[in-house]
A = this chain, B = another copy of it.
Amino acid sequence: MTDRQPPRPTDAELAILGVLWERGPSTVRDVHEQLNRDGSTGYTTILKLLQIMTEKGLVVRDESERAHVYQSRYGEQKTQRQLLADLAERAFGGSATKLVMQALSGRKANAAELNAIRELLDTLEGETR
């Protein structure tokens, strides 16, 4: 193993990652403008966060231009799975199945969504067999 597990992103970091996933590689200005649609955070706040995230290895920075370009180091799905595994560990006794069932019962789903999930189940069952 050459490098460590990435740390769990904090709330503010996750908001930034969301923008990077949506927009692709972005400058601080890009992220700041996107994030200021709702709520207000200063430009330097975003900059500082991105610097810290670079140190942590959550994003990679391209410094070849004057305005550095940041992009998420890990894909959206990979990060989401990481967060889910983490939550399963901390709050569901390590059982992802319990997590899924709780997520399903805790809300109202429409028929289309339920069908999509059911199809996914079929696919998974095919693979397992």
Q: Interface of A with B (CB < 8 Å)?
A: 11, 14-15, 18, 77, 79-81, 83-85, 87-88, 90-93, 96-97, 99-111, 113-114, 116-118, 120-121, 124-125, 128
- Chain B residue nearest in CB terms to A110: B128
- In the assembled complex, which residues on chain B have CB atoms less than 8 Å from the CB atom of A99? 80, 84, 103
- Least CB separation from A11: chain B residue: B90
Q: Which residue of B lies closest to A93 (CB)?
A: B18
B residues within 8 A CB of A79?
91
Number of copies: 2
Interface centre among A77, A96, A103, A114 (most CB of B within 10 A): A103
**Residue of A11, A87, A93 with highest tally of chain B CB at under 10 A:** A87
Given A101-B120, A108-B128, output 5 extra A-B contacts at Cβ < 8 Å.
Answer: A18-B93, A77-B102, A84-B103, A104-B120, A109-B128
Per the bound structure, the CA–CA distance linking A11 and B97 in Å amounts to: 21
A57 to chain B, nearest CB (A): 18
Q: A100 vs B107: C-alpha distance in the bound complex, in angstroms?
A: 11
Interchain CB contact under 8 A, B116 and A118: no
Within the assembled complex, what's the spacing in Å between the Cα atoms of A107 and B81? 9
Point out the residues of chain B lying under 8 angstroms from A11, CB to CB: 90
